[in-house]
């Protein structure tokens, strides 16, 4: 099996991203409009600072309902900031290990800390198929 195929060959580079100061209701609108279940959160320089998902939205709204709050805060208040990433120059085998060890659906791809893409399990399957590994 070839192990010299870079993640960058199979990643998606056109991503919908969020900002930490964005209202959660705005993030929900983006999720619904684009039919996505989560998005990376970046700062003004494009550095990855977290991930925000449907589950984070639900957790936030449950907390708001329980506490009878009018607003549910910002993406930055509820995002996951302990993000597992893979480097754009990593090979597909390394990405497969990260998927297996962490049971993730998608992994942000970075280059020197800057978000450059995302690779999903589906993308990994495409790499397996394209290279005749299955």
Q: Give me the percent of the chain exceeding a pLDDT of 90.
A: 65
Tally of domains in the chain: 1
Tokens 């989560």 sit at which residue? Answer: 38
Please tell me the predicted confidence (pLDDT) of residue 16.
Answer: 95
- Per-residue pLDDT tens over the stretch 31-80: 999 999 999 999 999 899 999 999 998 888 887 766 666 567 899 999 99
Question: What span, in angstroms and rounded, lies between the C-alpha atoms of 27 and 66?
Answer: 21
Across the chain, what does the average pLDDT equal? 88
Task: Kindly state whether residue 1 falls inside one of the protein's structural domains.
Answer: no
Please tell me the predicted confidence (pLDDT) of residue 117.
Answer: 96
Task: Kindly state whether residue 74 falls inside one of the protein's structural domains.
Answer: yes
Task: Kindly state whether residue 123 falls inside one of the protein's structural domains.
Answer: yes
Question: What span, in angstroms and rounded, lies between the C-alpha atoms of 114 and 39?
Answer: 15
Task: Give whole-number Cα distances, 68 to 55, 63, 76, in Å.
Answer: 19, 8, 20
CATH number at residue 18: 3.10.580.10
Question: What span, in angstroms and rounded, lies between the C-alpha atoms of 23 and 87?
Answer: 29
Question: What span, in angstroms and rounded, lies between the C-alpha atoms of 88 and 24?
Answer: 29
pLDDT, mean of residues 73-96 = 92
Computed on alpha carbons and rounded to an integer, the radius of gyration of the chain in Å comes to 16
Task: Kindly state whether residue 80 falls inside one of the protein's structural domains.
Answer: yes
Please tell me the predicted confidence (pLDDT) of residue 65.
Answer: 65
Task: Kindly state whether residue 100 falls inside one of the protein's structural domains.
Answer: yes
Please tell me the predicted confidence (pLDDT) of residue 13.
Answer: 94
Q: Give me the percent of the chain exceeding a pLDDT of 70.
A: 90
- Quote the domain boundaries for residue 38: 7-130
Residue 132 has pLDDT above 80, yes or no: no
Task: Kindly state whether residue 2 falls inside one of the protein's structural domains.
Answer: no
Residue 123 has pLDDT above 90, yes or no: yes
CA proximity to 40, closest of 95, 116, 104: 116
């Amino acid at each position: 099996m070839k192990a010299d195929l870079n993640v960058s060959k199979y990643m998606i580079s056109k991503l919908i991203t969020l900002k930490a100061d964005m209202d959660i209701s705005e993030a929900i609108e983006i999720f619904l409009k684009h039919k996505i279940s989560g998005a990376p959160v970046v700062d003004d320089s494009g550095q990855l600072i977290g991930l925000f998902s449907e589950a984070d939205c639900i957790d936030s709204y449950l907390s708001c309902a329980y506490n009878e709050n009018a607003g549910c805060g910002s993406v930055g208040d509820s995002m996951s900031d302990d993000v597992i990433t893979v480097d754009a120059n990593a090979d597909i085998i390394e990405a497969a290990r990260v998927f297996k060890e962490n049971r993730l659906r998608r992994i942000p791809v970075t280059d020197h800390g800057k978000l450059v893409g995302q690779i999903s399990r589906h993308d990994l399957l495409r790499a397996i198929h394209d290279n005749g590994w299955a």
